[in-house]
Amino acid sequence: MNFASVRIITDDVDRLVKFYEKVMGVSAERPAPVFAELVVPSCTLAIGHSQTVPLFGEGSAVAADNHTVIIEFRVHDVDAEYERLKPFIEEWVKEPTTMPWGNRAILFRDPDGNLVNLFEPVTEEAIKRFSGRD
């Protein structure tokens, strides 16, 4: 089994695509107006319009209602990303902080309120945990 993607359901695909293109530094692929994919070597972030939800099961997902998932991206320099994104992000949850498990992280919300974490392993243990995952 291979992990394929995480999909965010939204009422405004264009707005979220623009947001994540800026955060991730890649252009989205748009196979349909109601769907987009942002592809990087380690993952794919898919964004689908709420109009697509009935295809999966009526009421199976609700746009802008995530309270349990954190979308995480490993970066090379959290502090540099913080400076780059500071003028663009409207809601910061956590400014650069070294977490007890050894990752330096920033957390913020996307325009739909989804929680996003950019992190880099900084302690020896955390670096070892991520070695070979590139």
49/5 same-domain check: yes
70/124 same-domain check: yes
Mind spelling out the 3-state secondary structure of the chain?
A: CCCCCEEEEECCHHHHHHHHHHHHCCCCEEEECCEEEEEECCEEEEEEEHHHHHHHCCCCCCCCCCCCCEEEEECCCHHHHHHHHCCCCCEEEEEEEECCCCEEEEEEECCCCCEEEEEEECCHHHHHHHCCCC
54/70 same-domain check: no
- Report residue 114 CA to chain centroid gap: 8
| pLDDT by 10s per residue, the chain, length 134 | 999 999 999 999 999 999 999 999 999 999 999 999 999 999 999 999 999 999 999 999 999 999 999 999 999 999 999 999 999 999 999 999 999 999 999 999 999 999 999 999 999 999 999 997 86
Q: Using CA atoms, how far apart are residues 94 and 40, in angstroms rounded to an integer?
A: 25
Residue 133 is predicted with a pLDDT of 80
80/26 same-domain check: no
Q: Using CA atoms, how far apart are residues 14 and 10, in angstroms rounded to an integer?
A: 9
Residue 22 is predicted with a pLDDT of 98
Question: Which of 58, 77, 96 is the last residue before a domain boundary?
Answer: 58
> Are 112 and 16 contacting, i.e. CB atoms less than 8 angstroms apart?
yes
Residue 110 is predicted with a pLDDT of 98
34/76 same-domain check: no
Q: Any idea what the CATH number is for the domain that residue 18 is in?
A: 3.30.720.120
Residue 4 is predicted with a pLDDT of 94
Q: Using CA atoms, how far apart are residues 64 and 109, in angstroms rounded to an integer?
A: 11
Residue 134 is predicted with a pLDDT of 65
Q: Any idea what the CATH number is for the domain that residue 90 is in?
A: 3.10.180.10
26/86 same-domain check: no
Q: Using CA atoms, how far apart are residues 24 and 75, in angstroms rounded to an integer?
A: 10
34/79 same-domain check: no
75/94 same-domain check: yes
Question: Which of 17, 41, 58 is the last residue before a domain boundary?
Answer: 58
> Are 120 and 76 contacting, i.e. CB atoms less than 8 angstroms apart?
yes
17/33 same-domain check: yes
The count of domains in the chain is: 2
Question: Which of 42, 58, 74 is the last residue before a domain boundary?
Answer: 58
Question: Which residues form the domain of 90?
Answer: 66-134
